[in-house]
Amino acid sequence: MQNVFFCALFIISLLFHAPLFGENSNVAPAVLAAQKQRIDVIKAVSPSVVAIFGSAGDGGGSGVLVTPDGYALTNFHVVSGAGNFMKCGLNDGKLYDAVIVSIDPTGDVALIKLLGRNNFPVAKLGNSDSVQVGDWAYAMGNPFLLATDFQPTITYGIVSGVHRYQYPAGTFLEYTDCIQVDSSINPGNSGGPLFNADGELIGINGRGSFEKRGRVNSGAGYAISINQIKHFWDHLKSGRIVDHASLGATVATGFDAKVDVAEILEDSDAYRKGLRLGDEIVSFAGRPIRSVNQFKNILGIYPAGWTLPLVYRRDEQKTKIYVRLQSLHTAAELQKHISSPNGIPDEKPDQDDPKKPRMPIPMPHGHPAPPAPPEKYKHLYVPKTGFTNYYFNQQQQDRLVQALHAHSNFSDRKGNWTLTGKLDNGADFTLTLADKGIGLESGKDIFLQSLETGMPIDEPPGTGGLLAALHHFRLLLSGQSDRFTDFYYLGSEPLDGKNEMVDVLVATQTGTISRWYFNKTDLSLRGFDFYLTENSEPCSIRFEQFRTLNGQKFPGELDIQYENRPVMKMKIERLKLEAADPDNK
C-alpha cells in the first residue's frame, strides 16, 4: 500500500507540474521528516559498506567495516574463492588492498582487514536481540555488482521474522538465531550489512530463498545476527578456522512436548557434570528452552570452548550446571571443508543443486582484475595448518605475552624455582619446579612428577595433575613458550561461564593442555585450567592477591579446584629463583 501511495503522489505531481515533496506540497510534515531521517541514515552508514573483489577478478560480494583500523565483516562464502588478498571498494571511489584474517565456515562469517588507513569509516554495532518483527531494515551492498562507482545499493523493508533457524544446505553450514527480512537480497549482497532504522548494524546478510532459475530475490532473506558475531569477535581476530559449539548431546521433543536429552556422549563435559538421558532441558545460556529449534538456535551462536549455564529437570528437581562446550567439528572436517572450490551455496537444497558451481560475479566495468598484492603487504599472510592466517594469531600471542612479562618477567630465571608457604589447613609446604621434575612436600607427604620418564600423572592424587600443571606455569612465566608442542591465541570467553571476559592462550605438551586466562581490561593473568588429556576434567588454578617477589609481581595465592570442588589453597610467602644451568639449557 505504501508503494501505491507514493506512485499516486508521483502521477499527481506530473499532472499538476508540481514537485513531489516541494515547499508548497501538502505532504504531512511527519512524512517529510521520515523521508529525511531515512536519507540521513543512508548517508551516515554508506561509507562503511565494502565492495569485495577476488584476486582473480571472478568473484566478490559485500562487507562492512567495524573498526577504524580496517577490520571488516563479510560471509565465508564470499571469500572462500577470493584468495588470501583481495581488493575492496568504498563509496569514496577508492580501491583498497585487503587480506584475509579468519573464517567461520559453519556460521558463514569471515573477517578481512582493509589496508592503507587507520581511520576507516565504521558501522555502529546494534543489539540484534532487541530486533522485533515489523522493524524497518536497510540491506546494503552490491547486488550483481551494479555499483561501478562503489556506491552501495540500498533496499528497504521490514524484519519478517526473528530467531530463525536455517538448516544446512548441502554442507554443515547453519544459520542459527538469524534475522529474516523482506528487504531485497540478491547475489552480491552476501556479506553486506543489515542496518536498523537508527543506522545500527544488526546483522550480516547471507542467505536468500531464491527462485530456482535466475537466482532472483523472492522476498525472504536471512542475516546473521550481530550478537552472534560479538560472541565470535575475538575468535575471528585470532586468524584461526573458527568452530561452533556442541553440547555433546542431542535433544528431542518428548511426548509431553518437553525438550529432553535424546543422546549424550559419556566423555562430554555435560555428562561429567551430571546430565543424563531423559533429562529435560529447562534453560541454556540464560534463555528458556521450549523447542528443539530454539535450543539449536541458542547453541549455534556460541564458539566451541565456552562455559555456559544449563538448567535441567529430573524427577521434578531442577539442577544448574556450568558446561564447557566442545567443538562441533573435527579439525580435519574444517580443513577439508574450506578447501572446497565452490564455497557455500545461497540456495536451499530443494530449490537448486548445491553441487552446482556458484555463479561468478564479474568485476565492474572500468575496474580490471586486481593485480597481486603490493610487496609491502605480503608479510601479512602466514599459512599454517588449522589457521586461516597465522600472522594475526602471532600478533595476539605477542600482545598477551608482552603484557605478562610487563607484570612478571622471569625470562632470565629458567633454572629451579622453589616456592614456600602455607596451605589453607595451616600446614607448611615446599614446592620445587625444575626441568627434570616437580616436587611438593608438606609434612610427611611428598609428591613427585618426573618430566624425563613416563607421562604426566594425577599427582597429588585427586587434583587433576597439579604438579604437571605447575610445569606449564613455570614454562610460560619464564618465557619458554617455544617448548610447548603448540601455542596459540584462542579468542575470548566469560571466565568460568559467569565472570568477566578473558582472553585465552592455549598451550599443549606431551598430550597435556593448558588454557591461560587474561583479563581483557588490564591483561593481568587470572589463572589457568590444565587437562591431563583432551577430555579429562581440568585442574583449575586461579590467582589471587598478587605480591612483589624477587622484584616481580607474582600470585600470592593459588586457589586450586578439581571436579567442581576445592582442593587446596597455596599461600606463597617466599620465591627462590635460580638461573638456568648452562649445561642444561
Q: How far apart, in whole angstroms, are the C-alpha atoms of residue 389 and residue 307? A: 26
Query: What's the longest Cα–Cα distance across the chain?
Result: 104
Cα atoms in the Cβ-side hemisphere of radius 13 Å centred on 58: 10
Radius of gyration in angstroms for the set of CA atoms belonging to the chain, rounded to a whole number: 28
User: Which position among 97, 104, 108, 243 bears the catalytic label?
Assistant: 108
CA angle, 199 then 200 then 205, to 5°: 100
The SS3 call for residue 49 is strand
Residue 322 grid coordinates: 556450568
Plot region of 150 (φ>0 → left; ψ -120 to 50 → alpha; else → beta): left
* Cα dihedral 122, 123, 127, 131 in deg (nearest 10): -170
Q: How far apart, in whole angstroms, are the C-alpha atoms of residue 34 and residue 5? A: 15
User: Which position among 62, 190, 268, 442 bears the catalytic label?
Assistant: 190
Task: Tell me, yes or no, if 177 is annotated catalytic.
Answer: no
Helix (H) and strand (E) counts for the chain? 9, 32
Q: How far apart, in whole angstroms, are the C-alpha atoms of residue 106 and residue 184? A: 24
Residue 493 grid coordinates: 570467553
Task: Tell me, yes or no, if 77 is annotated catalytic.
Answer: yes
Q: 3-state SS of 301-336?
A: CCECCCEEEEEEEECCEEEEEEEECEECCCHHHHHH
Q: 3-state SS of 491-560?
A: EEEEHHHCCCEEEEEEEEECCEEEEEEEECCCCCEEEEEEECCCCCCCEEEEEEEEEEECCEEEEEEEEE
Distances (CA, A) of 186 to 181, 190, 576: 12, 8, 66
The 8-class DSSP code of residue 354 comes to: T
Task: Tell me, yes or no, if 408 is annotated catalytic.
Answer: no
User: Which position among 46, 48, 62, 77 bears the catalytic label?
Assistant: 77
Residue 464 grid coordinates: 587433576
List residues with catalytic annotation.
77, 108, 190
